[in-house]
Amino acid sequence: MLPQSQMLIVMVIYMVFLISWGVYQGMKVKSSTDYSIGGRVLPGWAAALSERATGESAWALLGLPGAAYATGLMEIWTAIGCVFGVIFAWIVLAWRLQKEAQNYDVQTFTDYLAKRHASYGNLIRVLSSLTIVFFFFFYVGAQFVAGGKTLFTMFHLKPEYGMLITAAIIIPYTIFGGFRSVVYTDVVQAIIMITTLIIGPVVGFIYIKSHPDVYAHSITAALRTAGPSYTAFVKGANGFQWGLIISGLSWMFGYFGGMPQLTTRFMSIKDHRNAKVGRNIGVAWTIIAYIGALALGWIGIAIFGPSTLADREYVMPRVLMQIFPPYLAALLITGAIAAMISTADSLLILSSTELAENILTSRESDKRHKLTVARISTAVLAVIALGVAFLSQRSEVISKFVFDLVSYVWAGIGGTFSVIILLSLFWKRFNGIATIATIIVGITFTIVWISTGLEQKVMTARIMTFVVALLTAVIVSLLTDREKV
């Protein structure tokens, strides 16, 4: 059987299983609370694996190995920033957010903010929901595009066909089962992802040691042979290199509660004991995954040499196809597609439930009516996002527009809402007016900062937005009387 046929069979079997598993979990959904936040009764292990699969998306399997392949040891700083952010979130925030979600009877991410700052709850609910839905809607479209490109690389399908296949996988079970289906399909995807990031490097080390035709027979030798820039952690003492280090570390700020698709997982955990279980699994998964992702990029240098791949972000599938038989490589590469799927379905259900719960229905609406509206919203947003993805493939203007909006998410949404979550949890003086001001200033600042080129010239918006949002939140809180707001 041809290698490509073997890969296709493995992937079809996996995708059929994934859809069936998602539909099965969806059969347990009985209310809008089940649909939007899993009834807040998820076991810690499920919430942790879902949060990790969603949080890393294609980044851990394509982006980070590709960056390690292109820059060598320098990419360690990005890994440190992300790992620190995840550890902080699980140790410091997860159990607190689980407790807050139960205390306030939370249905969605913005529902918590609205109930926590009840004096301006309705305005916070609408403003937060519209902001999140707008930006994450385009984020879903970007995931469809990424799925199309990956299938093109593996099977030479047109990217448009790949996007349709990606959408056909996630849309049915996401519409039917909502958050619950998304979480339990994420569990499967997280297991495949971590398996890939453990087995891949181990076999890769053995491969480069035992094959005489590789570029180098160890990672150390590969980095040293590739040149001094690949072995330096700092690359010198000038500002630009230190800027790269700071930029890498700055990824941590988005993990401080500001990414709604991740924070919702914390809120959905059943109880404090399960939050501890989730903490242990989430932290361990992250450390192992990031070591494996970096190692795959460096193994790529050892096998192929530096700068030989046309697209650095395909170093992971190229390495796996080199060191494994086709059927096993297909199963592990499925991890990359699984990562994209886990992000796309999570973003889709987040957007649709925020829209349904906070914009299209009232708090007094019947739960069955809310569930119906949520499912219809999911279907409509999915179709429109797929349409945007198709248009972005045909128009450079639309493609750039979508790319720019997605680039705002981690800084604008992550940095802004991280400040709001942190202060809501830890500062009694923080209030509703400050919440509204922080959202408006944080999002506006991010758009201006990135669109004017200051992101490249001065400092990454991931830091600047967090700092500006924090200053705004503190100043407005101090200037307003909490007893009246």
pTM of the complete model: 0.89
86-134 residue pLDDT tens: 999 999 999 999 999 999 999 899 999 999 999 999 999 999 999 988 8
pLDDT computed for residue 296 by the predictor: 94
Domain identity same for 335 and 442: no
- Name the average pLDDT for the chain: 86
Domain boundary (344, 378, 393) is at 393
In a domain, 204, yes or no: yes
When pLDDT is averaged across residues 285-305 and rounded to a whole number, the result is 94
Q: What is the C-alpha to C-alpha distance for residues 202 and 179, in angstroms, rounded to an integer?
A: 34
The domain of 467 spans 395-485
Q: Which H or E run includes 193?
A: helix 159-210
Quick check: 2 pLDDT over 60? no
Distance of CA 474 to the CA centre of its chain: 28
In a domain, 250, yes or no: yes
pLDDT computed for residue 288 by the predictor: 96
In a domain, 91, yes or no: yes
pLDDT computed for residue 237 by the predictor: 43
Domain boundary (378, 393, 408) is at 393
- Characterise 365 by phi-psi region: left (phi > 0), alpha (psi -120 to 50), beta (else): beta
Domain identity same for 309 and 456: no
In a domain, 32, yes or no: no
Q: What is the C-alpha to C-alpha distance for residues 52 and 194, in angstroms, rounded to an integer?
A: 10
Domain identity same for 315 and 207: yes
In a domain, 260, yes or no: yes
Count of Cβ atoms closer than 10 Å to residue 43 Cβ: 16
When pLDDT is averaged across residues 399-420 and rounded to a whole number, the result is 80
Domain identity same for 313 and 451: no
Q: What is the C-alpha to C-alpha distance for residues 377 and 175, in angstroms, rounded to an integer?
A: 9
Question: What percent of the chain clears pLDDT 70, i.e. is strictly above it?
Answer: 92
Q: What is the C-alpha to C-alpha distance for residues 266 and 94, in angstroms, rounded to an integer?
A: 5
In a domain, 89, yes or no: yes
146-176 residue pLDDT tens: 777 777 766 777 778 888 888 888 888 888 8
In a domain, 33, yes or no: no
Residue with tokens 């926590």: 116
Q: What is the C-alpha to C-alpha distance for residues 102 and 263, in angstroms, rounded to an integer?
A: 14
Give the count of domains, the chain. 2
What single DSSP character describes residue 250? G
339-348 residue pLDDT tens: 677 778 888 8
Which CATH number covers residue 46? 1.20.1730.10
Domain identity same for 292 and 336: yes
Domain identity same for 82 and 68: yes
**What DSSP string describes 196-218?**
HHHHHHHHHHHHHHH-TTSS-SS
Domain identity same for 436 and 349: no
Domain identity same for 329 and 453: no
**Residue 269, φ and ψ in degrees, nearest 5:** -70, 145
Question: How does residue 209 score in pLDDT terms, banded at 50, 70 and 90?
Answer: very high
Domain boundary (393, 425, 445) is at 393
27-68 residue pLDDT tens: 888 888 888 888 899 999 999 999 998 888 777 787 889 889
Domain identity same for 340 and 409: no
Domain identity same for 200 and 333: yes
Tokens of 90: 């699980």
Domain identity same for 199 and 265: yes
Domain identity same for 387 and 435: no
236-254 residue pLDDT tens: 545 456 767 787 888 899 8
In a domain, 350, yes or no: yes
